[in-house]
Amino acid sequence: MDNSPTALFDSYEQDFRQVIDSIRLKLDGDGKDERGEQRRAALRRVEMELDEADEMISQMEIEIQGIPQSIKPQYQNRLKTAKGDLVRFKKLSKDLHSQVSRAELLSSGRVGTPTSDEPYGPTSDRTRLLAGTATLEDGTRRLQESQRIALETEDQGAEILMNLRTQREQIENSRDTLRTADTAIDRASGTLKKMIRRMYQQRVVTAAIIVVLVLVIAIILWEKVFR
């Protein structure tokens, strides 16, 4: 790899020359014989290549700052020459753009000229009236289409609202059912608690009766044995 202080400048200059040669071929060479859309496409490619060449000039201006003073003047002259070529081809491209635009304008003007076979040219009142009628019909059709879409949207909105209302009623009914179920559960829980309480009370009474019976039996036995 070349690490000399002029290596990058030389590389950018070489790329610049290749781009300029391509531009020259499109503007001054075989490309100048192209017509119509091919010519416009060639000019668009030239514009892109001119932008690329302009970027290379900017890079060369940066790289020249690091070149030693002893050889810097000759590189400055080369940079000046490159800038001159770029300016010249930019001007040539602009002139060709103007020529193509002027030729297209003149061509379109000739197309609109009335002939003996067609006394009313494309730009006549009749043509404008027909064009206006077509535009009006197209606008009417679009308006009708918009109205149809609006009606469909309105119907869909009404259906959605009805579905939401039905779902709301279902939710409210479910809520009432849950409340009823909660009330029934509370009642059942209270009844169950009462039953459990009564069961414990009965157990206590039964135990007390058993204790009393045992005491009575014990007293009777004691009296019979010790008397």
Give me the phi and psi of 164, to 5 degrees please. Answer: -65, -40
With respect to residue 147, please indicate whether it lies within any of the assigned structural domains.
Answer: no
Domain count, the chain: 1
Domain that holds residue 88: 7-112
Query: What is the distance between the alpha carbons of residues 20 and 46, in angstroms, rounded to a whole number?
Result: 10
With respect to residue 182, please indicate whether it lies within any of the assigned structural domains.
Answer: no
Query: What is the distance between the alpha carbons of residues 196 and 202, in angstroms, rounded to a whole number?
Result: 10
According to the model, what pLDDT value does residue 147 have?
79
With respect to residue 76, please indicate whether it lies within any of the assigned structural domains.
Answer: yes
Contact of 60 with 9, CB cutoff 8 Å? yes
Q: What three-state secondary structure class fits 121?
A: coil
With respect to residue 99, please indicate whether it lies within any of the assigned structural domains.
Answer: yes
With respect to residue 135, please indicate whether it lies within any of the assigned structural domains.
Answer: no
CA-based radius of gyration for the chain: 52
Instruction: List the CATH number of the domain containing 27.
Output: 1.20.58.400
With respect to residue 89, please indicate whether it lies within any of the assigned structural domains.
Answer: yes
Task: Determine if the pTM surpasses 0.85.
Answer: no
What distances in angstroms separate CA 93 from CA 42, 90, 207, one per listed residue?
10, 5, 121
Across the chain, mean pLDDT equals: 81
| pLDDT of residue 1 exceeding 60 | no
With respect to residue 74, please indicate whether it lies within any of the assigned structural domains.
Answer: yes
Residues 6 or more apart in contact with residue 27 via CB below 8 angstroms: 46, 89, 92, 93, 96
Give me the phi and psi of 68, to 5 degrees please. Answer: -55, 150
Tokens of 22: 């391509």
Over the stretch 120-148, which tens digit does the pLDDT of each residue have? 444 556 676 777 777 777 778 778 877 78
The residue that leads in pLDDT, 44 or 133, is: 44
| pLDDT of residue 35 exceeding 70 | no
Query: What is the distance between the alpha carbons of residues 192 and 176, in angstroms, rounded to a whole number?
Result: 24
Over the stretch 103-114, which tens digit does the pLDDT of each residue have? 777 765 554 444
The residue that leads in pLDDT, 152 or 209, is: 209
With respect to residue 31, please indicate whether it lies within any of the assigned structural domains.
Answer: yes
